[in-house]
Structure 1
Amino acid sequence: MPGTLKAAQFIITLEVVLGLVGLAVTMAGFFFAFDWGILPALIHAAGSTALFGWLLGRWSSRRVYVRWAIIAAHLLVIGATVLDLALFSTVTWQAMVGQHILTWAVIILLLLPSAGRWFSGPAS
């Protein structure tokens, strides 16, 4: 596996770990306050963490669809954030790029030619 893909795999693992921490904090906030406004954040945290964890589990299959599914999932997370920011009129470059620097890094690393060659190879 190329070093760029090892870095991408590490970043996704870090995203899953941080997602689990965020999920625990969000669940604690929801059950402590029973504030139904937290429920969409809870669903987003649970869904994105589960999706990233599932895709990370499929990493070793080296199938092409896994690469594109990871890219699509990361773009979906960015899109959901932009939609949320647009609804509240707070879209800024800092919010789109700065808060998602790891997400953009994974997308860029998986779009490199070495990632394409590795994901189209046979599983080992």
Structure 2
Amino acid sequence: MLEKVAFTMYPVTDVKRARAFYEGLLGLETHGTEKIGENMAWIEYDLPGGGCFALADFTEDVPHANSGGTIAFEVSDLDELIAHLKNNGVAFASDMFHSPVCRMAVCLDPDGNSLLLHQLKNK
């Protein structure tokens, strides 16, 4: 019955700050920003390998690193991205850790949502 993951959404409290992080620091490009009401926004980012990531400022969900869900972004150069983010003051919830097939680190967006940055070892 299920066909695919339609989107992953994170709640944010400050749309301008969130867009500066996701677009300015991570380089995501929006394909759709909608006003849901007078002061409510929904922002969508199509991801290069497929899928959609969205931000919303109108849900009752409270952004938090321990909210139970984490998106994992596959990256081409984990060391370079970590250095770039740290140089721009991004907080990390973990140091780099290794599995048999990948390297990962967890950073926090400006609202405290956790993002797992992931690089396969064969890349």
Shorter-chain TM-score above 0.5: no
Normalized per residue, the structure richer in helix is 1
Q: Which has the larger radius of gyration?
A: 1
TM-score (norm 1): 0.31
Taking CA–CA contacts closer than 8 Å with sequence separation of 6 or more, which of the two structures ends up with the larger relative contact order?
A: 1
